[in-house]
Chain A
Amino acid sequence: MADISCNFLGIKSPNPFWLASAPPTDKKYNVIRAYEAGWGGVVWKTLGSQVKNVSSRYSAVNYGGHRVMGFNNIELISDRPLEINLREITETVKEFPDRATIVSLMADNDKESWHELIKKCEDAGAMGFELNFGCPHGMTERGMGAAVGQDPEIAKMVVEWVMEKATIPVITKLTPNVHSVVPTGKAVVEAGTNALSLINTIQSVTGVDLDTFVPNPYVAGKSVYGGYCGPAVKPIALKFLTSIAQNDVTKKVPISGIGGVSTWKDAVEFMLLGSTSVQVCTAAMKHGFRIVEDMNEGLNNWMDEKGFKTIYDFIGKSVDTITHWEDLDINYHHIAKIDQDKCIHCGLCYIACEDTSHQSINLEYGRPYNKYTIKEEECVGCNLCQLMCPVNGCITMEEHRVAPEYVNWKMWQAEGRPLNDH
């Protein structure tokens, strides 16, 4: 059995799976249920100035019969009185001292408010803070949330205020509603944050109701941009994560990865790209806290299979494999191959290639089953057919290097090689 425990800046948890700051971590009742179910930690839903929420708050994107491929919300930070939250934090930490109980903060935009909030939360027993610089709705209009995270100077200033007062680890949570997370990431690391977490939700409109003509979520005939999350945002989160894990300044601090993590596999991918812990929300909102059971077991089994003893044996392992396009090896070439024994003759590879790619699949008419084969000389190795094939392992990509030596685009140009071989 591998050791899947996590030590995040001294905050220990039995596994790297935390619940993200969100409705599931709004109060003790939920958090206790989460801990009982086996979650390693929680980031308590953001505490700060008093707010009032609206109804409705959520909407979703369904796809191909699957519900909640993407999810968005227009809920604000915790709308419960601060005192109740603090009391419950104290009780929770006492009941589960072995879990990572971190508190998300978003104070009004002045030093005193931040200092006061930090003091109260530390007194309540918080093990760490996560600064909410990412909430994309509502709070931004008051100069908070993403309004802070989108401006590196303001973010830096707030982190400096926080670091003056905080005696426990501080994680700064970044907003993805920027062209790059690196400027703010750098600014807050330089200001002294102990760690980063990303991504917060992405501004979105999930859809428009074709009967009412009002987008979702619906609030008395109107809607607003909501924060998008769930499986749909994972690729975007991984990209932002990589850019933080690769930057010379930001890579010095540990990262807590967030964005569409639903399974142990998603979590491992985040960890391979530099996350020490991962945070989950939408998947838990869809299925309940019980999903952590498979996350624990799946991670453990995978680590055993790969021979990793602790999570630190593989965290960040894939970071360097993401390079610049101009450094890719032009001489690498692979060609699709269809296993005729596995082929079910659905024709999806053919029509994808024929209509939208390189006309590299041959159709031999049959009744009722056509035979599909690859025209090797035409195949550019784009993967499209393999991606569309419904049978695992039916289409494989076989390596056929153009030449043995590595040559990238820069070298290619420098050598004056022909640009077009069509």
Chain B
Amino acid sequence: MSISANRLTKEQYEQNFSDIHPPFETPDAALVEANRCLFCYDAPCMKSCPTSIDVPKFIKQITTDNIKGSAHTIFSSNIMGAGCSKVCPVEKLCEGACVFNLMHEEPIPIAKLQRYSTEIAMKKNWQLFKRKGSTGKKVAIVGAGPAGLSCAHVLSREGVDVTIFEKENKGGGLMTYGIAAYKVTPKFCEDEVNYITGIGGIEIKYNQELGKDFSLEELQKKYDAVYLGIGVGLARQLEIPGEDLQGVEDAITFIYNLREKGYPAIPVGDKVAVIGMGMTAIDAATQAKRLGAKEVTMLYRRTQEEMPCTQVELDIAMLDGCEIIWLAAPKEIKGNGKVEQLVCSVMALGEPDASGRRSPVDTGKTFTLEVDMVIKAAGQMPFAELVNRNKLENKSGKIVVKEKAATSIAGVFAGGDAVNGGKEVVDAVQAGKDGAKAIINYLGLNNV
């Protein structure tokens, strides 16, 4: 057993990381599905979208050959509508609410149709929004992730000049760095960032990290307002013995490297254990398998009832051949310098906890897995230290905001994962819109 890179042929990598939800191959194929849409009134799909995309309208526009209008409808509500069509857990959002479900029929493939319109718009580089005349106002945004980009786009439309400070060398945030490559490619993420900033009035300064390359005070001085879309970053530690052994990695770093360095360069074990059952855990487990790991076992301390990922995601993992062990919590990682064994506690469900889910209780029994790699996907933690240092009111590192976006410091706004602790891309996009609205109010631009 060992951890090694370059396990597969080029063709195998290509096949394993090809688009998991391929697009419609022809306009006719899209039309068949678009024409199925009932064009619901006060549509459940629209109400289930955090950005409230007018789904029936954009689908209707596909059927009338008004693709430009369709894309405009999507982007008006969600400027990352192209990316969201690939990464949204639609089974619990729009498609999950589609009324066809109530007829026990397949829901309308909303994401696929959204991808259809937005892909054409991006390919043809239709710039569907025009900036208003300059207001002379300048806003700094920290973080070029979904929240920051969404906020920037709305502000730019309103005639505000935006500068985004991004600590990485690419924009897109978790979209670029934290999602399985078979959902979105790094190339697509780059195209999407360029498409969004194509409106003009948005400058992204890369390799600029808050607290290192510049301070919040500096931004406050130089700009009329500041928006913090700094996300979450630190992987939650397991706090168990052996966590420092070679072969223990956190899922975020694993996925980040995979997207930065290319598939063959990523080492993966023969027998991999993945801790957690969220979307990131699934992305890590499936990609470990797709990189050539012989066995991947996912461990979750509760049961399928309580799992944070969707059934669709779990199915991807299971179809990839990942083993699932419910009611198992990591207790100790053993090894001589390198990971050799993972000792797990057998859990049982007790009383409901704060989240309303029944909390896992240690039964005292244990079992041991022979593994050579452990990937931790037990959630991410907010940048508590950074937030505290900047004297932002927060709750365990999550920035507290009023009226959806205003922080405890006047002129400083925040949104996205940094506030909610880590939700979907689409939630961050909405947060960015809310932030822009609050900033426009704050700058007194809403009456202009």
Q: Show the binding face of A for B, using Cβ within 8 Å.
A: 64-65, 344-348, 350-351, 363, 367-370, 390-391
A350 close to B41 (CB less than 8 A): yes
Which residue of the partner chain A has the closest CB to B63? A65
B31 close to A346 (CB less than 8 A): no
A-B contact pairs, 11 of them (CB 8 A): A65-B31, A344-B99, A344-B100, A344-B103, A346-B99, A347-B43, A348-B40, A350-B41, A368-B48, A368-B97, A390-B38
Interface membership of chain B positions 31-46, coded 1 if the CB is closer than 8 angstroms to chain A and 0 otherwise: 1101110111111110
Q: Which residues of A contact B63 (CB under 8 A)?
A: 64-65
A346 close to B35 (CB less than 8 A): no
A344 close to B48 (CB less than 8 A): no
Which residue of the partner chain A has the closest CB to B100? A344
Q: Which residues of B contact A369 (CB under 8 A)?
A: 44, 97
B41 close to A344 (CB less than 8 A): no
* In-complex Cβ contact of B41 among A347, A368, A390, A391 (8 A): A347
Which residue of the partner chain A has the closest CB to B49? A368
B297 CB, min distance to chain A CBs, angstroms? 36
A368 close to B47 (CB less than 8 A): yes
The 6 closest A-B pairs by CB, nearest first: A65-B35, A347-B41, A368-B44, A351-B41, A344-B99, A344-B102
Q: Which residues of A contact B103 (CB under 8 A)?
A: 344, 391
Q: Which residues of B contact A350 (CB under 8 A)?
A: 41-42
With contact pairs A345-B99, A367-B47 given, residues A65 and B38 touching in the complex (Cβ less than 8 Å): no
B80 CB, min distance to chain A CBs, angstroms? 22
* In-complex Cβ contact of A64 among B35, B45, B100 (8 A): B35
Q: How far is the CA of A393 from the CA of B24 in the complex (A)?
A: 34
Which residue of the partner chain B has the closest CB to A390? B38
Identify whether the interface residues of A are mostly helix, strand, loop, or mixed: loop
B interface residues, how many (CB within 8 angstroms): 21
Q: Which residues of A contact B45 (CB under 8 A)?
A: 368
Q: How far is the CA of A326 from the CA of B63 in the complex (A)?
A: 42
Q: Which residues of A contact B43 (CB under 8 A)?
A: 346-347
* In-complex Cβ contact of A348 among B32, B41, B44 (8 A): B41
Which residue of the partner chain A has the closest CB to B93? A368
B46 CB, min distance to chain A CBs, angstroms? 8
Q: How far is the CA of A208 from the CA of B186 in the complex (A)?
A: 44
Which residue of the partner chain B has the closest CB to A347? B41
A75 CB, min distance to chain B CBs, angstroms? 28
With contact pairs A65-B63, A368-B97, A390-B38 given, residues A345 and B32 touching in the complex (Cβ less than 8 Å): no
Q: Which residues of A contact B39 (CB under 8 A)?
A: 348
Which residue of the partner chain B has the closest CB to A365? B42
With contact pairs A344-B102, A391-B103 given, residues A65 and B44 touching in the complex (Cβ less than 8 Å): no
A326 CB, min distance to chain B CBs, angstroms? 37
Interfacial residues of chain B within 47-90, with CB under 8 A of chain A in the complex:
47-48, 63
A51 CB, min distance to chain B CBs, angstroms? 37
Which residue of the partner chain B has the closest CB to A210? B65
Q: How far is the CA of A206 from the CA of B40 in the complex (A)?
A: 29
Interface membership of chain B positions 382-401, coded 1 if the CB is closer than 8 angstroms to chain A and 0 otherwise: 00000000000000000000
Q: Which residues of B contact A351 (CB under 8 A)?
A: 41
Q: Which residues of B contact A344 (CB under 8 A)?
A: 99-100, 102-103
Q: How far is the CA of A351 from the CA of B36 in the complex (A)?
A: 19
Q: Which residues of B contact A367 (CB under 8 A)?
A: 47
Chain B CB within 10 A, most for which of A347, A351, A363, A390: A347
B39 CB, min distance to chain A CBs, angstroms? 7
A73 CB, min distance to chain B CBs, angstroms? 25
Given contacts A344-B100, A368-B45, A368-B47, 12 further A-B contacts (CB under 8 A): A64-B63, A344-B102, A345-B44, A345-B99, A346-B43, A347-B41, A347-B42, A348-B38, A350-B42, A368-B97, A369-B44, A370-B42
Q: Which residues of B contact A347 (CB under 8 A)?
A: 40-43
Q: How far is the CA of A346 from the CA of B42 in the complex (A)?
A: 8
Q: How far is the CA of A391 from the CA of B104 in the complex (A)?
A: 12
A345 CB, min distance to chain B CBs, angstroms? 6
Interfacial residues of chain B within 1-57, with CB under 8 A of chain A in the complex:
31-32, 34-36, 38-45, 47-48
